Amino acid sequence: MRIFTTALIFAMSFGSTAMAKPPLRDVAEIDNGLMAVAIADAIRKSCDNINARLIRAYSELNRLKGLAGQLGYTEDEVEAYVTSKAEKARMKDKAEQFLQANGVRSDDIPALCRFGQEQIQAESKIGQLLR
């Protein structure tokens, strides 16, 4: 009986932990995926010689949304995350830090365009969203 009680307590505590979801900003694959889309969008808006692969970008956004759903997030939770002004500001800062770590200032358009071309050549996550 004691083993059964211990197992039941363990199962109940594990179940409540499994049900708790971290904020979407803490799900690296989703947050980093959205950052790649945001950077690619900034590049295509800034660089006349670089265009977006819109179908690929929409497919990536749908994949990320689907992943969030598989992880138990509702459509309302996803919508709140992507439309939040605070999250948009955080994502902008994160993207700028990423660019700076790669030697690019977001306000240096020629450098941003060179970075975009490099990403296309490298077929990186960002580069796959551009042409």
Query: Does residue 87 lie within any of the structural domains?
Result: yes
Q: What is the mean pLDDT of residues 64-87?
A: 94
Residue 55 lies in a domain: yes
R_g (Cα) of the chain, nearest Å: 20
Q: Does 113 score more than 90 pLDDT?
A: yes
10 domain residue, yes or no? no
Residues 6+ apart with CB under 8 A from 8: none
What is the domain range of residue 67?
Answer: 22-129
pLDDT tens for residues 20-32?
Answer: 899 999 999 999 9
CB 99 within 8 A of CB 115: yes
Select the more confidently predicted residue: 20 or 130. Answer: 130
pTM listed for this prediction: 0.80
Asked if residue 81 belongs to a domain, the reply is yes
- pLDDT confidence of residue 1: 46
pLDDT reported for residue 10: 43
Cα distances from 61 to residues 24, 43, 64, 83, 91, in angstroms, run 14, 17, 5, 14, 15
**pLDDT at residue 19, rounded to an integer:** 60
Please indicate, yes or no, if residue 83 is contained in any of the structural domains: yes
Residue 11 lies inside a defined structural domain of this protein: no
Q: What are the structure tokens assigned to 4, written together?
A: 């059964």
**Quick one: pLDDT at residue 106?**
85
Report yes or no on 4 lying in a domain. no
Q: Are 130 and 43 in contact (CB under 8 A)?
A: yes
Count of domains forming the chain: 1
Q: Residue 86 domain-assigned?
A: yes
Per-residue pLDDT at 2 exceeds 80: no
Q: Per residue in 14-70, pLDDT tens? A: 444 446 899 999 999 999 999 999 999 999 999 999 999 999 999 999 999 999 999
